[in-house]
Amino acid sequence: MRWAHALHYGRDGHQDVCVIGVGTPDVTVVETAEAPQVSMDASGGMAQRYALALYEYAEEKSVLPEVLDQVRALRKLIAESAALREFLADQSLDSRQAGQGLEAVLKAQGFSETLKRFVGVVSRNRRASRIDEILGAVLALDAKRRGETIAEVRSAQPLTAGQRSALQTRLAEAGYARVSMIERVQPELIGGLVVQIGAKLFDTSIRGRLTRIQNAMKGAA
């Protein structure tokens, strides 16, 4: 069996290892305070490595469509629940508390054992606050493998179906016909959107406008 893994060194010097499908069809976590003597691909960040672990495991088990659907469902749940976002951002929780809380949420919502165990690994590796980013990386990886352009869309509130459709139309008019939107809720934007496609950034958020006004006033002073 091919080993799907994600590896990252945290600020505390610990190694995060997400190993899926080693010995059992489930998930195993290994953490060590010592850096192993292995070479590591420096391309991609922590979120991308965790995403690759889940993606490759789902491919091997022929459950990729189901896993991707659940990844989208969990991202939707995070986007629509301010309480869940606050829980994920709570730095006072230790890895055990974060893991138990997320496990209860996922169990109540009927998520699969594969996704529950994967999220458990992320939590025990003290990355619960990055779970939405990791899930977004899974969808971005899938879009890339299907040859689609990736548009990262950040908004203060979850997009409505109408807003999503209108944005897709505008992107198509701009030449991005095959585009996959990776959405993320950032309340600090206040309103509007931030859309990033590769190196191009389109910022219509209220926070962006306020920042530009502030910079203009500084320049005029």
DSSP SS3 for 18:
strand
Q: What is the pLDDT of residue 30?
A: 36
Q: Which residue has the tokens 């080993």?
A: 3
For the stretch 109-152, pLDDT in tens is 999 999 999 999 999 899 999 999 999 999 999 998 988 888 88
Look up the pTM and report it.
0.68
- What is the mean pLDDT of the segment spanning 84-97? 90
- What is the mean pLDDT of the segment spanning 22-31? 36
Q: What is the pLDDT of residue 220?
A: 65
- What is the mean pLDDT of the segment spanning 3-26? 43
- State the Cα–Cα distance between residues 75 and 47, nearest whole angstrom: 14
- State the Cα–Cα distance between residues 180 and 183, nearest whole angstrom: 10
For the stretch 142-197, pLDDT in tens is 998 988 888 889 898 888 999 999 998 988 888 888 888 888 888 888 888 899 88
- State the Cα–Cα distance between residues 96 and 149, nearest whole angstrom: 37
- State the Cα–Cα distance between residues 49 and 70, nearest whole angstrom: 19
Between 34 and 210, name the one with better pLDDT. 210
- State the Cα–Cα distance between residues 215 and 221, nearest whole angstrom: 10
- Residue 65 neighbours by CB distance under 10 Å: 10
CA 171 to chain centre: 22
Decide: 84 and 46 in contact? Cβ < 8 Å: no
Decide: 95 and 131 in contact? Cβ < 8 Å: no
Residue 137 CB-density burial (10 A; 0-12 exposed, 13-18 middle, 19+ buried): buried
In order of their start, the domains of the chain are: 4-137 (1.10.520.20), 149-220 (no CATH)
Confidence of residue 36 (pLDDT cuts 50, 70, 90): very low
CA 62 to chain centre: 22
- What is the mean pLDDT of the segment spanning 15-37? 39
